[in-house]
Structure formats: C-alpha cells, structure tokens
C-alpha cells in the first residue's frame, strides 16, 4: 500500500483539530498511537447525541457523503484528489447494531496523547479491538495481533476489563480471544462463527444476545445479496487507437489503492465481437474456410441502400442473431458473476456493433435492440482528434476513422453516453472516471 492512498497525517490531523475547535467531545478509536500504521480511515466516537449531530453536520458541510449507516454508526466518505477520505462516526461502541462497551466509562478514562489526539485507555483499547474481532471481523490480522501482545504487556486493570465484558455479555468471548493470544506462534487470530455463538451461550444471561446475533447475521447476509454485493461494471468504447487498453490498465491499477478501505478486487474483460455460441463458432469457421466476410459483405450491400436508408430483412436477421450471441456472452461472462464484489473494467460492448455494421445505423429494429441490451453500470466513450488516431492506427484509412468517429458520436447522443477526452494526461482521465463512479462504488462496498 502506497502512502498516498491513505489519509495524509496533515489531513487527518486537520479533521481532528476541527472537531476540537467546534468543542465536539470525541475519542479516536483504533488510532495508531501505540503501534504506527498508515490510516485508511478515522474511527471517531462522540460523547453525546448533540456531539453526534454536530459532527455529522460538520462532515457533510465539508463535502462528505453518507455511504452506509447502522443504528449507532454512520459511515462517511469524501473524494479528495487521488484519495478517498473515510470516517466511521460512532455514537456508541457498537457493531452489527448493538452496544458492546459502556461509552461513559470510556470517556471517564480517556487519555490525551497530543493536544487534539484523544484516545481510550489501554484497557479500553484492548477491549475495542477484541470486541471488533469477535462481533465483526471474526479474528485479528497481523497488525492487530501484534498490538494486542503489546497491550497485554502493560499494567492493566483486569477488574475493569472483567466488569465491562461481563456487563455487556461477552466475557466468554473475551476469554476465548485471550486464550488464542497466549499462543505467541500465531501471527493472526481467527475466530469461527460457531466459536462466537458458543462463547455467547457461555456468557451469563446471554440467550437474548445469542439469538440477536443470529438475527442480525441473517440481515447482514441479505445485505450482501444484489444489489449490494455485486460487480460494478465500468465499460469503455471508442475508435481503435483511442487508448482504451492503456486507460483500463491504469485505472485497474489505481482503483484498489483508491478504494483501499473496501479491499476492492478488480478484473478486466474484452467484450468485442468474438463468436460465443457453438452455432456461431461453427458458422464463423465455415465462413473462414470459404473466405467469406459477412460484415464486409453486408456493409457493401448497405452502402448501396444508404441513400434510402432501407435495411434488408437479411441484415436485420444478422443483427438479431448477433444480439442473441452477445446476450448469451453477457449472461455467461458478466451476468452470473455479478454477485462477486469487485470492479470489472470492460473493453467494448454490444453497442460497438452500431459502429461496425453500417446497416445497424439505419435499422430501427437494431435501435430497439440497443435499448433492451443490458447496460453496464458505467459506460464512457473515449475520444481523440482525427490526427491523433491517424498516427496510432495507420492500418485504417482516414475515411474509416472519420466514419467511426461520427458513428460513435451519434451513438453517444442516442444512448446518452458521457465522453472523455483522452488527449488529457492519464492522471486527469483516471481522476475524471473516479469522480463519476466513486460514490456508487463506495456505497455498494460499504454495505458489507
């Protein structure tokens, strides 16, 4: 992880200092003051309902948007340049909708490590990480495991720790994690869902909490079903040589850094014309053997009828079959895989057929096919001046390039597709794309 993808020290200190100036009573949860690490977000607990209201209004005024909300927590984010600023604003120490620690005691025991850096006590730090491991993350990663070992070496008030875990009905879960931490050979700690349920049953008077966890987990799982847990498809179309491959490669590399908080995976897919159905592959093979090029043949036929703009039945039949083949490809390549949580960058789409088949431009039937074909979540038309394209695609004539440019321009107008000028720097192009997609992507991935 590069440092530039995380909150810069100056930026998060500025946010914290503004909380301080506005007299908002807060604690920084899981702040790396004991064991340094880069920050991908800020976890801020406020003391009162009024503090919560003031903090939320201030962040929204600063340009943050709400991308997720639980009963005691609001998840906010803001795009600043190449960085996504993320803040978890808590009004209680709570995960999956219930309180795990008594907040008033945290504020009574708070520590000021720097003028504006106000953190929980060592005991509360330990409890916060362990509660999150138990109720949300089902374990501790390498950093958190090392931090727990560091805290356990300090002089701790175990009477207070026992009181907090017992009162909030997860003392057995606390003991489970502490037992696992005693094995110094483990660099990470894993806790299964069954271990969580078992620990709750062993805690005193915990049957309501046990069933509460089951109920909340079911709702939590439902939120992972579409449209929340799904692939976000970002598609690029344009004349050959406009820079689609270069831009896809660059944005694919930048996206995981920008969306680091969400552990976002990416994939790219070529969606240009290739025979997909077995019958199409068979027909295509037969055509190649006879050296018959159906696209060129149909285009020549349509040149003759372009003045009257009449499209033959044969052309419409080919367009319909092409639609069916493309639809089958969509269902197999993208449709059934949309439950995976990732970003999918696609080079070309079914819409390109409008450019490459001259008959498609004059076919009212094909325009209906364009409207009913599944649309990607985001689609961009990449454009460049003719002289730039001529220098990149020397195998295409100037007339061909002009024809494709005009067809793509008309297609963009027909389907309301936004246009991006690729003569800008790659940084500007990537930033323009992220500026459009980041809100919906963040909202979808935050609902986890």
State how far Cα 154 lies from the chain centre. Answer: 39
Rounded average pLDDT over 178-188: 89
pLDDT greater at residue 409 or residue 216: 409
Rounded average pLDDT over 246-260: 92
User: Smallest Cα–Cα separation from 312: which of 365, 372, 356, 368?
Assistant: 365
CATH topology of domain 1-120: Beta Polymerase; domain 2 (3.30.460)
For the sheet with 42-46, list strands across it.
Answer: 26-29, 42-46, 83-90, 73-80, 65-70
User: Smallest Cα–Cα separation from 129: which of 144, 113, 149?
Assistant: 144
Q: What is the DSSP string of 17-71?
A: HHHHHTT--EEEET-TTSS----S-EEEEESSHHHHHHHHHHHHHTT-EEEEEET
User: Smallest Cα–Cα separation from 119: which of 16, 24, 18, 31?
Assistant: 31
Could you tell me if 123 and 163 are in contact, meaning their C-beta atoms sit under 8 angstroms apart? no
| C-alpha to C-alpha distance for 88 and 405, rounded to whole angstroms | 46
Domain ranges of the chain: 1-120, 122-222, 231-446
> Which pLDDT does position 9 carry in this prediction?
63
Confidence check: pLDDT of 52 > 90: yes
> Which pLDDT does position 340 carry in this prediction?
74
User: Smallest Cα–Cα separation from 254: which of 79, 419, 83, 444?
Assistant: 83
70-79 pLDDT per residue, tens? 889 999 999 9
> Which pLDDT does position 2 carry in this prediction?
37
To the question of domain 231-446 being in CATH 3.40.50.300, the answer is yes
> Which pLDDT does position 221 carry in this prediction?
55
Q: What is the mean pLDDT of the chain?
A: 85
Beta bridge partners of 84: 79
């Amino acid at each position: 992880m590069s440092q530039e993808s995380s909150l810069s020290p100056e930026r998060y200190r500025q946010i914290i200092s503004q909380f301080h100036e506005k007299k908002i009573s807060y604690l920084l949860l899981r702040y790396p003051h004991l064991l340094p690490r880069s920050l991908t977000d800020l976890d801020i607990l406020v003391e009162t309902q009024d503090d919560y209201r003031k903090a939320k209004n201030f962040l929204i005024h600063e340009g943050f948007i709400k991308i997720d909300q639980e009963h005691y927590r609001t998840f906010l984010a803001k795009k600043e340049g190449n960085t996504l600023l993320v803040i978890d604003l808590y009004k209680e120490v709570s995960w999956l909708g219930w309180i795990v620690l008594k907040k008033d005691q945290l504020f009574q025991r708070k520590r000021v490590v720097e003028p504006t850096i106000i953190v929980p006590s060592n005991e509360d730090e330990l409890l916060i990480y362990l509660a999150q491991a138990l109720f949300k993350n089902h374990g501790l990663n390498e950093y958190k495991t090392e931090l727990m070992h560091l805290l356990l070496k300090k002089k701790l008030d175990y009477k207070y720790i026992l009181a907090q875990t017992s009162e909030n009905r997860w003392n057995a879960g606390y003991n489970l994690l502490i037992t696992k931490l005693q094995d110094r050979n483990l660099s990470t700690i894993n806790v299964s869902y069954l271990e969580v349920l078992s620990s709750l049953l062993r805690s005193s008077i915990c049957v309501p909490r046990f069933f509460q966890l089951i109920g909340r987990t079911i709702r939590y799982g439902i939120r992972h079903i579409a449209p929340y847990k799904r692939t976000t498809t970002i598609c690029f179309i344009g004349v050959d040589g406009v820079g689609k491959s270069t831009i896809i490669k660059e944005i694919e590399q930048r996206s995981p850094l920008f969306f680091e908080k969400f552990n976002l995976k990416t994939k790219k897919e070529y969606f240009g014309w290739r025979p997909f159905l077995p019958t199409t592959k068979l027909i295509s093979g037969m055509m190649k053997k006879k050296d018959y090029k159906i696209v060129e043949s149909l285009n020549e036929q349509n040149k003759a009828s372009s003045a009257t703009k009449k499209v033959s039945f044969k052309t419409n039949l080919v367009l319909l079959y092409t639609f069916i083949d493309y639809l089958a490809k969509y269902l197999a390549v993208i449709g059934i895989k949309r439950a995976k949580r990732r970003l999918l960058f696609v080079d070309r789409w079914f819409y390109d057929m409008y450019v490459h088949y001259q008959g498609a431009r004059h076919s009212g039937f094909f325009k209906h096919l364009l409207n009913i074909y599944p649309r990607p979540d985001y689609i961009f038309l990449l454009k460049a001046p003719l002289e730039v394209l001529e220098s990149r695609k020397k195998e295409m004539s100037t007339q061909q390039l002009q024809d494709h440019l005009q067809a793509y321009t008309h297609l963009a107008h027909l389907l309301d597709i936004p246009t991006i000028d690729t003569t800008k720097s790659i940084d500007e192009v990537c930033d323009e794309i992220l500026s459009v997609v980041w809100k919906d992507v963040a909202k979808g991935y935050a609902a986890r």
